[in-house]
Structure 1
Amino acid sequence: MPRLTVVVPAYNESAVLTAFHARLSKVLDQLPLACDVMYVDDGSRDDTWSIMQSLAASDPRVGTLKLSRNFGKEVALTAGLDHVDADAAVVIDADLQDPPELIPQLVEQWQAGYDVVYATRSARAGETGLKRFTAAAFYRTMEMMSDVAVPRDTGDFRLLSRRALAALGQLRERQRFMKGLFAWIGYRQTSIKYMRDPRLAGATKWNYWRLTQFAIEGITSFSSAPLKLATWTGLAAAVLAFLLAVKVLVKALLHGDPVPGYPSLMVVVLFLGGIQLLAIGVIGEYIGRNYNESKQRPLYFIEEEHRPGARTPLHTEATLQD
């Protein structure tokens, strides 16, 4: 019988984990597959880990993975997928914004021959207009600037076949933008539409500062467009400055007009200085990413691991993963 693993990264999700597992269990009970769940605790500070242990004790299908600290969702997701030994894996968040009841449709498309089946949001309930606008702007910006076609309005909720998992496992870059990596591996991909629900309980971990950093991460990881933009902006500024200099010179020679003084000079200096600093900042982002990659640090450390069906920890000391 084909085997399916559901990977659930979580950080401070104690308020919703029990309800999430109850809904997920009902879905897995109905699937004609051998199913298990891998919960990944990304260094939570609340009772998330103890709840995961309780779920593992009451349900033999549950495995748990505890990272040594908070490495971020992208790395926690990578850790969970690294520990999948199944024919396919489904990635889903624990906040119940992505309904587990959609998993059978993902499985159906997988059995029809697709390697990656991603869920695309047709609506985003429970979010402000500003959040919806910025999310739409991000995905459309990625679509224009990225070297890889990243699906619009699509999060991490998706199914990956065995060979898609194997391909993804070979991508060990430190600056991880998983939505882009899912698209980069290629293979046969399709989507299904769904309406995203509001968070059931708890608070979102994504404020606008973190979302901005995430957007910069995605753009710089999968596109060199910002570097090209800095080049063309500098060229446009130089051409504009040359034309303005010619105009001033012609007016001074033909009409005897005095050359504009201090105020206009300051405007030009500040304008060109701002463009230069912006360009240096863009270059710095790329240099910083190369610096982090060159250190070749492990992506994460495992503090404790329980395989599905296991009653005792398999690893109780730190384990490193490249």
Structure 2
Amino acid sequence: MQTLAVVVPAYNESEGLREFQRRLGLVFDGLDLRCSVLYIDDGSRDDTWQVMESLRAADARVATLKLSRNFGKETALTAGLDHADADAVVVIDADLQDQPELIPEFVARWREGFDVVYGTRSNRAGETAVKKLTSAAFYRVMEKMTDLPLPRDTGDFRLMSRRVVDALRGLRERQRFMKGLFTFVGFRQTAIVYDRDARFAGDSKWNYWKLWNFALEGITSFSTFPLRLATYVGFVAALIAFVFGLTVFVKALFYGDPVRGYPSLMVVVLFLGGAQLMALGMIGEYLGRIYMESKQRPLYFVDRINPPSGPDAG
């Protein structure tokens, strides 16, 4: 019988895990697959791990993995994929914004021959207009700045075949942008459009500062366009400075020019200085990533891992 594993990274999600497992269990009961779920505790500060263990005690299809500290969602997701052993693996968040009830539809498309079936959001309930706008802008910027065909309005919720998961396991870069990596490996991919629900419980762990850094991670992981942009900005700044300098020279040559150039001098200096600092900042972002990759540190450390205890687990 074919097997299905569901990978669920969680950080401080104890309030909603029991309801998530109840709904996921009903989905498992309706599938003709050997199913299991792997919960990853990404260094939670609440009782998320205790709740996970109670779920494992109550359902033989539940496995749990606890990281040694909070490594971030992208790394927790990587740890889950490293330890998931099944013919197909579903990645889903624990906040119930993505409905587990869609998994059978994902499975049906997988059985049609697709290696990746991802969920594309047509509506995002419970999110502010600013967050929706910035999210839509991010996907469109990524589309323009990289050669990667990153699907619009698509999160981590997806099903992947075994060979896709095996391919992802070979990508061990430290600065991880999983949405890009999912697309990078290729294979046959298709979308399922759905309306995303509001969070069942708790608050989002992603504030605007974290989202900004996440966007920066995505852009610099799959595009060198910012470096090219720095070149363009430097060229334009140099051109403007040259034209301005030529204007000042011609004016002084034909009409003379009393010494009253302090404001214009400051404008030029500040403009060029700002352009140079921006270019250095972009270079620094890439240099920092090279530095992190050169250390070759492990992506994560596992504190504890408990496999499913029942014979029907995948």
> Which bracket does the TM-score occupy, shorter chain normalised?
over 0.9
1:45-69 CA-to-partner distances (Å, cap 9, x unmatched) read 1010000000000100000000000
Hey, what's the Cα distance between the residues in 2 that align with 1:196 and 1:256? Answer: 68
Residue 62 (structure 2) aligns with? 62
Question: What pairs up with 1:1-322 in 2 under 5 angstroms?
Answer: 1-258=1-258, 260-309=260-309
Hey, what's the Cα distance between the residues in 2 that align with 1:161 and 1:92? Answer: 15
8 Å CA contact 2:13, 2:95 repeated in 1: yes
Shift of 1:161: 0.2
For 1:64, the aligned partner's letter is T
Residue 314 (structure 1) aligns with? none
1:127-181 CA-to-partner distances (Å, cap 9, x unmatched) read 1110100101111111111231111100000000010011001000000000000
1:179-224 CA-to-partner distances (Å, cap 9, x unmatched) read 0000000000010100010001001100000000100000000000
Identity value in percent: 67
8 Å CA contact 1:127, 1:198 repeated in 2: yes
For 1:168, the aligned partner's letter is L
8 Å CA contact 2:61, 2:310 repeated in 1: no
Hey, what's the Cα distance between the residues in 2 that align with 1:254 and 1:29? Answer: 89
1:10-44 CA-to-partner distances (Å, cap 9, x unmatched) read 00000100011111111111011110000000000
Hey, what's the Cα distance between the residues in 2 that align with 1:136 and 1:252? Answer: 51
Greater RCO (Cα-Cα under 8 Å, separation 6 or more): 2
8 Å CA contact 1:53, 1:64 repeated in 2: yes
Hey, what's the Cα distance between the residues in 1 that align with 2:259 and 2:77? Answer: 61
8 Å CA contact 2:230, 2:279 repeated in 1: yes
* TM-score normalised according to structure 1 size: 0.95
Hey, what's the Cα distance between the residues in 2 that align with 1:136 and 1:49? Answer: 34
Shift of 1:310: 6.7
The unaligned stretches of length 5 or more in structure 2 are: none
Shift of 1:258: 3.8
8 Å CA contact 2:145, 2:223 repeated in 1: yes
For 1:297, the aligned partner's letter is R
Counterpart of 1:198 in 2: which secondary structure? coil
Hey, what's the Cα distance between the residues in 2 that align with 1:288 and 1:114? Answer: 37
Counterpart of 2:151 in 1: which secondary structure? coil
Misfit runs of 4+, over 6 Å: none
Counterpart of 2:192 in 1: which secondary structure? strand
In structure 2, relative to structure 1, the CA distance for the partners of 1:102 and 1:206 (3 Å cut) is: same
8 Å CA contact 2:117, 2:159 repeated in 1: yes
